[in-house]
């Protein structure tokens, strides 16, 4: 395998292929086959999201894939933003369709005509729904597994509220859900309020969660949008207030995609392959019997061990006959299983197990009698360590910059003073290829001068070359 | 609500709408919005299928939605069968695509080019994968919720084997899985080997599971197909045998769709609405507090009860403030929750709960101390009763027939002697609109004469007007 530090892009492609997450040989560009191991990770992610959404009173729905083009065109900003990158269905069987259909690039325009039928009074609000579906975008840029594809595994939540304040509270709830979610993914991120020219097509504002990949390039991995009444006016989503007057609802959305898996691969992995956070790993523990001497006894003891822990953890017993322990170590390290248990004659005799951490390679001997709590402890420690390490790495990829030369001297994200004008952002882009990620949330303001025009400003912002 | 017996079709449409399973007002014909309750049932069905498939060594994958038309066209029977009913994608953004794409109507032609890359030797066999996806068919016939739609929630398993015997064993495994699955759905069925002219396009033979709806019309709810080497030859899926020679793999598929939900609605429901088998019900038990006197105490006791049983069952506590118990009874009966617990002051005082069965309306008083095992028992009893009742109803819809007049005298399924010829099947169809469902499995052969041509035959077969 390529060294991650030497050539991140090649390493990334290689590890995805060798760990058997997806197969890129499907004969349509940017559409990949999810192999069992990759799909198991995606399903785990979905499950975690579902639980978080149900906890916060969202309901799960499923809207059709195909959207009539006349519905799609109703919100003018939205169609301007997405119109050029949708797949069109204009023929069914041998018949030309009366109204051309598009494959959902996102589901506002599928959902909102229905919301307009569902919502009558304030009693119907808030409406909080989500769906987990695939969306389709006719990408013309170079595609890259998980990061830029044409069929995207996607989570989208849509909410309607009585007033602006309630929709703001929803965005805050989304931010809380997002933090809990990222804890489970062990992913670090910064939140940025995108500049107006980079917000979601049809939104009043967009808050994006960006992480930074080992290449130094930022990757947008989650977004929360406030739509105000832009869509509700276009789709006629009205409600009767308590006082009898009528108003349009205030809307938000919250989106997460398979890019999360790309981030997990890129951020946690190492030269031996994937490292999966225990919370999302399809297998948290793999048991590898170390055959020496009485083979049958060792296999039986391994099965017993498996039975003892399988209700507490997601465990794989690798009792394949025709592979050496060394090959199995290699294989499960490549697949990023967080914890390996080796069980050999000496372990059995001494009533212990030997575990090896995937994140630190540390080997620990555990008494069988203390096994369950100790394994739990170590998995928690791995989860914690991965996140801490990822945060440290992310911050090491952020460099303060005072001049265009500073910016051009590295490929990483820079923290700069920026006056807020598009003009200055454009100059930065032209000079360095780096883009303003927006105004960061959760950062202390500091007086300074715009790096381009020199104007006094307390706006700090991140810039980088996004995926 | 319409009476089920009086007008099954109208009752069916009404119950689906009122129980809020789907919303049919989506502006594309035959594509419906899955509402939270309907989607929860579908997800439960998916989960049950997944568990059964994992138990039998299948792996879950996800293949892209879009299939290049040149791949789609490789198996000549298959393209003949499906070519006229696919949706076409011929444009992305503003560009005409080089190779037109189709929306998967089923995934043989997406999967098999990849299988040809994956399979090299006998060590790669058997290959057993499945996916749960939506498939798309440009239906020109009248659409009907769950039974005939253009976007279909679909389960499909695909396997490859070394030889014919192994693929036959796979079909038997599928039949076993199917039986376990139908036990959980409480659905009765008959298995029929379809006549050649009605088998899956590209298959050597098709075994279909048909149930019979209260209307007397048969509904195909599951299929197992044996492809032999038809597809592997078209897609060049070869392997090296132990003796070094090369051969094409033998393939099977196994498919189940959202029709299952239509069958559950139609077969179990009654004039008050849905009746869901406990195994698939999103809520198995609903707790309705009967407020009288000390409201706070009763609500608190209901919450306590909820906490006591929520880890053992899927429970909903209906503590809505602004609805009467009567309305809540009505509402949850409509939604088919198998068991209702009523908790009033007297129950609390006497340390009992009162439960009402959705299937029989029987009311039972249970000591709190025996609650958990008793509730489990009653739910099992409901599951058993629903299935038994459904089987009885199904068999009551099968009538032996000795003449065309017999057949025409009812709208139900008939059991007849049939010589096996297409000619006689066509005459039956022309005279009565009923179609030969094929040769039943698991039925004793009996000598007799073909109802049409009078030829001696021991072929008994079912005929009916399929949905």
Which residues of A fall within a CB distance of 8 Å from B151?
Answer: 64-66
Residue A223: pLDDT over 90 = yes
Q: Is the CB of residue A345 less than 8 Å away from at least one CB of chain B?
A: no
Which residues of B fall within a CB distance of 8 Å from A42?
Answer: 62
Q: Do A27 and B62 touch (CB under 8 A)?
A: no
Selecting from B28, B34, B67 the residue whose C-beta is nearest the C-beta of A66 gives B28
Residues B239 and B376 in one domain: no
What local confidence, expressed as pLDDT, does residue B160 receive?
Answer: 98
Mutation choice for A interface testing from B33, B141, B150, B235 by most A CBs within 10 A: B33
Residue B182: pLDDT band with limits 50, 70, 90: very high
Residues B224 and B327 in one domain: no
How close does chain A come to B138, measured CA to CA in Å? 6
Cβ atoms < 10 Å from Cβ of A311: 8
What CATH number should be reported for the domain holding residue A429?
3.30.110.30
Q: Is the CB of residue A31 less than 8 Å away from at least one CB of chain B?
A: yes
Mutation choice for A interface testing from B31, B50, B321 by most A CBs within 10 A: B31
Which residues of A fall within a CB distance of 8 Å from B82?
Answer: none
Selecting from A25, A64, A89 the residue whose C-beta is nearest the C-beta of B88 gives A89
How close does chain A come to B27, measured CA to CA in Å? 7
Selecting from B36, B61, B95 the residue whose C-beta is nearest the C-beta of A34 gives B61
* B6 backbone dihedrals φ, ψ, rounded to 5°: -70, -50
Domain end marker among B354, B381, B408: B381
Residues A57 and A143 in one domain: yes
Q: Do A66 and B114 touch (CB under 8 A)?
A: no
| Per-residue pLDDT tens over the stretch B53-62 | 999 999 999 9
Which residues of A fall within a CB distance of 8 Å from B113?
Answer: 26-27
Residues B211 and B140 in one domain: yes
Q: Nearest 5°: CA angle at A220, between A215 and A224?
A: 160
Mutation choice for A interface testing from B25, B39, B53, B66 by most A CBs within 10 A: B66
Q: Do B134 and A65 touch (CB under 8 A)?
A: yes
What CATH number should be reported for the domain holding residue A241?
3.30.930.10
Residues A201 and A302 in one domain: no
Q: Do A36 and B60 touch (CB under 8 A)?
A: yes
Residues B219 and B305 in one domain: no
In a domain, B393, yes or no: no
| Per-residue pLDDT tens over the stretch B78-89 | 888 888 899 999
Q: What per-residue string of b and e applies to A123-144 under the rule 16 or more CB within 10 Å gives b? A: eebbbbbbbbbbbbbbbeeeeb
Residues A81 and A151 in one domain: yes
| Per-residue pLDDT tens over the stretch B192-220 | 999 999 999 999 999 999 999 999 999 99
Give me the mean pLDDT over the A439-444 stretch.
92
Q: Is the CB of residue B123 less than 8 Å away from at least one CB of chain A?
A: no
Which residues of B fall within a CB distance of 8 Å from A65?
Answer: 31, 65, 103, 134, 136, 151
| Per-residue pLDDT tens over the stretch B130-146 | 999 999 999 989 999 99
For residues B136 and B24, give the distance between their C-alpha atoms in angstroms, rounded to a whole number. 17
Domain end marker among A268, A302, A335: A268
What local confidence, expressed as pLDDT, does residue B293 receive?
Answer: 87
Q: Is the CB of residue B431 less than 8 Å away from at least one CB of chain A?
A: no
Comparing alpha-carbon positions, the chain B residue that sits nearest to A97 is B87
Give me the mean pLDDT over the A267-294 stretch.
96
What local confidence, expressed as pLDDT, does residue A35 receive?
Answer: 98
Residue B226: pLDDT band with limits 50, 70, 90: very high
Percent of chain B with pLDDT over 90: 95
Residue A422: pLDDT band with limits 50, 70, 90: very high
How close does chain B come to A338, measured CA to CA in Å? 22
For B301-365, the DSSP string reads HHHHHHHHHTTTS-EEE---TTS-HHHHHHHHHHTT-SEEEEE-HHHHHHTEEEEEETTT--EEE
What local confidence, expressed as pLDDT, does residue A260 receive?
Answer: 98
Residues B248 and B328 in one domain: no
Residues A322 and A430 in one domain: no
In a domain, A228, yes or no: yes
Residues A219 and A346 in one domain: no
In a domain, A2, yes or no: no
Enter the pTM of the model. 0.97
If one counts the domains in chain B, the total is 3
Domain end marker among B355, B381, B407: B381
| Per-residue pLDDT tens over the stretch A254-264 | 999 999 999 99
What local confidence, expressed as pLDDT, does residue A97 receive?
Answer: 96
Q: Is the CB of residue A151 less than 8 Å away from at least one CB of chain B?
A: yes
Residue A183 CA, chain-centre distance (Å), reads 12
| Per-residue pLDDT tens over the stretch B92-151 | 999 999 999 999 999 999 999 999 999 999 999 999 999 999 999 999 899 999 999 999
In a domain, B85, yes or no: yes
Q: Is the CB of residue B91 less than 8 Å away from at least one CB of chain A?
A: yes
Q: Is the CB of residue B92 less than 8 Å away from at least one CB of chain A?
A: yes
For residues B286 and B284, give the distance between their C-alpha atoms in angstroms, rounded to a whole number. 7
Q: Is the CB of residue A116 less than 8 Å away from at least one CB of chain B?
A: no
3-state secondary structure (DSSP) of residue A158: strand
Q: Is the CB of residue B34 less than 8 Å away from at least one CB of chain A?
A: yes
* A280 backbone dihedrals φ, ψ, rounded to 5°: -110, -5
Q: Do B60 and A71 touch (CB under 8 A)?
A: no
| Per-residue pLDDT tens over the stretch A40-67 | 999 999 999 999 999 999 999 999 999 9
Give me the mean pLDDT over the B161-186 stretch.
98
Q: For chain A, what is the mean pLDDT?
A: 96
Q: Do A85 and B91 touch (CB under 8 A)?
A: no
Under 8 Å CB pairs connecting chains A and B tally to 139
Q: What Å distances lie between residue A398 and A168, A214, A395, CA to CA?
A: 29, 11, 5
Q: Is the CB of residue A86 less than 8 Å away from at least one CB of chain B?
A: yes
Which residues of A fall within a CB distance of 8 Å from B68?
Answer: 27-28
Percent of chain A with pLDDT over 70: 100
What local confidence, expressed as pLDDT, does residue A80 receive?
Answer: 86
For residues A93 and A178, give the distance between their C-alpha atoms in angstroms, rounded to a whole number. 43
Q: Do B114 and A43 touch (CB under 8 A)?
A: no
Residues A417 and A339 in one domain: no
Residue A81: pLDDT over 90 = no
Q: Do A94 and B84 touch (CB under 8 A)?
A: yes
Cis peptide leading into residue A167 (ω within 30°): no
A49's CB contacts (< 8 A; 6+ apart) are A130, A132, A155, A181, A256
Give me the mean pLDDT over the A4-27 stretch.
96
In a domain, A388, yes or no: no
In a domain, B99, yes or no: yes
What local confidence, expressed as pLDDT, does residue A239 receive?
Answer: 98
Q: Do A33 and B71 touch (CB under 8 A)?
A: no
Residue B257: pLDDT over 90 = yes
What local confidence, expressed as pLDDT, does residue A442 receive?
Answer: 87
Q: Which residue, B221, B52, B74, is CA-closest to B128?
A: B52
Cβ atoms < 10 Å from Cβ of B94: 10
Residue A261 CA, chain-centre distance (Å), reads 6
Q: For chain B, what is the mean pLDDT?
A: 96
What local confidence, expressed as pLDDT, does residue A2 receive?
Answer: 79
Cis peptide leading into residue A126 (ω within 30°): yes
In a domain, A3, yes or no: no
Selecting from B33, B59, B87 the residue whose C-beta is nearest the C-beta of A92 gives B87
Q: Is the CB of residue A373 less than 8 Å away from at least one CB of chain B?
A: no
In a domain, B280, yes or no: no
CB B156 within 8 A of CB B254: yes
Residue B76: pLDDT over 90 = no
Q: Is the CB of residue B85 less than 8 Å away from at least one CB of chain A?
A: yes
* B271: β partners: none
| Per-residue pLDDT tens over the stretch A3-12 | 999 999 999 9
Q: Is the CB of residue B81 less than 8 Å away from at least one CB of chain A?
A: no
For residues A416 and A407, give the distance between their C-alpha atoms in angstroms, rounded to a whole number. 9
Comparing alpha-carbon positions, the chain A residue that sits nearest to B34 is A62
Q: Do B66 and A28 touch (CB under 8 A)?
A: yes
Percent of chain A with pLDDT over 90: 95
Residues B341 and B403 in one domain: no
CB B162 within 8 A of CB B250: yes
B435-440/B190-193 β-pairing? antiparallel
Q: What per-residue string of b and e applies to B172-187 under the rule 16 or more CB within 10 Å gives b? A: ebbbebbeebbebbbb
Q: Is the CB of residue B35 less than 8 Å away from at least one CB of chain A?
A: yes
Give me the mean pLDDT over the B8-24 stretch.
97
Per the structure, the complete domain to which residue B443 belongs is given by 398-464
What CATH number should be reported for the domain holding residue A370?
3.40.50.800
For residues B159 and A125, give the distance between their C-alpha atoms in angstroms, rounded to a whole number. 48
């Amino acid at each position: 395998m390529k060294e991650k530090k030497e050539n991140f892009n090649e390493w990334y492609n290689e590890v995805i292929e060798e760990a058997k997450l997806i197969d890129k040989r499907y004969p349509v560009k940017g559409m990949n086959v999810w192999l069992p191991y990759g799909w198991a990770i995606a399903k785990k992610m979905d499950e975690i999201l579902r639980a978080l959404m149900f906890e916060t009173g969202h309901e799960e729905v499923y809207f059709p894939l195909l959207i009539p083009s006349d519905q799609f065109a109703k919100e003018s900003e939205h169609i301007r933003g997405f119109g050029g990158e949708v797949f069109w269905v204009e023929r069914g069987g041998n018949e030309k369709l009366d109204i051309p259909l598009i494959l959902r690039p996102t589901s506002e325009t599928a959902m909102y005509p229905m919301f307009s039928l569902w919502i009558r009074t304030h009693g119907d609000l808030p409406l909080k729904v989500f769906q987990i579906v695939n969306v389709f975008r006719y990408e013309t840029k170079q595609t890259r597994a998980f990061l830029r594809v044409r069929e995207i595994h996607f989570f989208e939540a849509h909410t309607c509220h009585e007033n602006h304040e309630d929709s703001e509270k929803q965005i805050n709830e989304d931010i809380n859900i997002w933090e809990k979610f990222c804890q489970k993914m062990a992913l670090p991120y910064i939140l940025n309020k995108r500049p107006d020219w980079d917000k979601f097509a049809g939104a009043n504002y967009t808050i994006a969660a960006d992480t930074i990949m080992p290449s130094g390039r930022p990757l947008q991995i989650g977004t929360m949008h406030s739509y105000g009444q832009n869509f509700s006016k276009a789709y006629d989503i009205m409600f009767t207030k308590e006082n009898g007057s009528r108003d349009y609802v205030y809307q938000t959305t919250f989106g997460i995609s398979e890019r999360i898996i790309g981030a997990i691969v890129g951020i946690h992995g190492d030269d031996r392959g994937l490292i999966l956070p225990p919370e999302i790993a399809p297998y948290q523990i793999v048991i590898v019997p170390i055959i020496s001497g009485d083979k049958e006894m060792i296999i039986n003891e391994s099965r017993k061990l498996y039975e003892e822990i399988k209700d507490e953890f997601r465990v794989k017993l690798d009792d394949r006959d025709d592979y050496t322990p060394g090959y199995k170590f290699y294989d499960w390290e490549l697949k990023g299983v967080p914890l390996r248990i080796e069980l050999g004659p000496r372990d059995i005799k001494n009533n212990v197990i030997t575990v090896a951490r995937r994140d630190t390679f540390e080997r620990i001997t555990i008494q069988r009698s203390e096994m369950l709590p100790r394994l739990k402890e170590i998995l928690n420690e791995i989860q914690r360590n991965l996140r801490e390490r990822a945060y440290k790495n992310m911050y090491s990829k952020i460099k303060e910059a005072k001049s265009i030369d500073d910016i051009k001297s590295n490929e990483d994200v820079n923290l700069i003073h920026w006056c807020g004008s598009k003009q200055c952002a454009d100059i930065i882009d032209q000079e360095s290829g780096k883009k303003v990620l927006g105004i960061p949330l959760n950062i202390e303001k500091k007086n300074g001068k715009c790096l381009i025009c020199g104007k006094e400003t307390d706006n700090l912002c991140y810039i980088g070359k996004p995926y």
